Amino acid sequence: MLLLLLCGSGVIAAPGQLPAQEILDYTVEWRLITAGKARLAWGPTHHSNPGWQADLHLESVGLVSKLFKVNNDYISNLEPGLCATGSYLKAEEGKRHKETRVTFNREAHKADYLETDLDKKAVAARGEIDIPPCVHDVLGALYLLRTLNLEPGQNTQVAVSDGKRSVMARVEAQQQENIKTPAGAYKTIRYEAFLFNNVLYRRYGHLYLWLTDDSRRLPVQIRVRLQFAIGTITLQLAKQEA
């Protein structure tokens, strides 16, 4: 059933099983230790144009924060049908401080990318690429996946862009699994999104997502497996707020 909510002067519907609003808190594990925490918020846009906004805050904690501090904020803006309109990243990673803006222009079929070095107060990179009429940033693609209801053995292609590349990424529903997280135990379906290995990202790796096998389609676990120097990073759901 579509959830209706007021957004500015109009009424829009939450696509698929997505809620009108949602906040998900995660623990971040790296090399068997708690390395950080993440908060993922979803709701209507904060401006007059009807649509959706996803906000991801990621920060390191404990020993990892002393070794390599991370304090990142990412915003994804989406049209009512989940096509991306723009994204914004403010990243503090070790000694690097940068700001990245991507604007997706559906009418012109273009994406504009602008990266700024906040320490030097200078443009670090900029460019423009061609995109299809409807494309998704990586965070927006997660919410799209929650609406697709792919069953084990099924797969699809999703248009994904980070502003520097635009690709058709394969998403595969692999198998049902029971998952335990700090928030509880869940029956899930495991998916793999093929974004690494010179697809959207050049580095070698794998991205897995576990969504609950029910109408909520909650992302209760996310795992990135990279080369040995970095290893495996796992986000597990710790708390859900409506």
Number of domain units in the chain: 1
Q: Which domain holds residue 56?
A: 3-241
Tens digits of pLDDT across the chain (242 residues): 222 222 333 445 567 779 999 999 999 999 889 999 999 999 998 777 789 999 999 999 998 999 899 999 999 999 998 999 999 999 999 999 999 999 999 999 999 999 999 999 999 999 999 999 999 999 999 999 999 989 999 999 999 999 999 999 999 999 999 999 999 999 999 999 999 999 999 999 999 999 999 999 999 999 999 987 789 999 999 999 87
Q: What is the pLDDT of residue 11?
A: 41
pLDDT of residue 229: 75
Count CB-CB contacts under 10 A for residue 162: 19
Which pLDDT score is estimated for 14?
Answer: 64
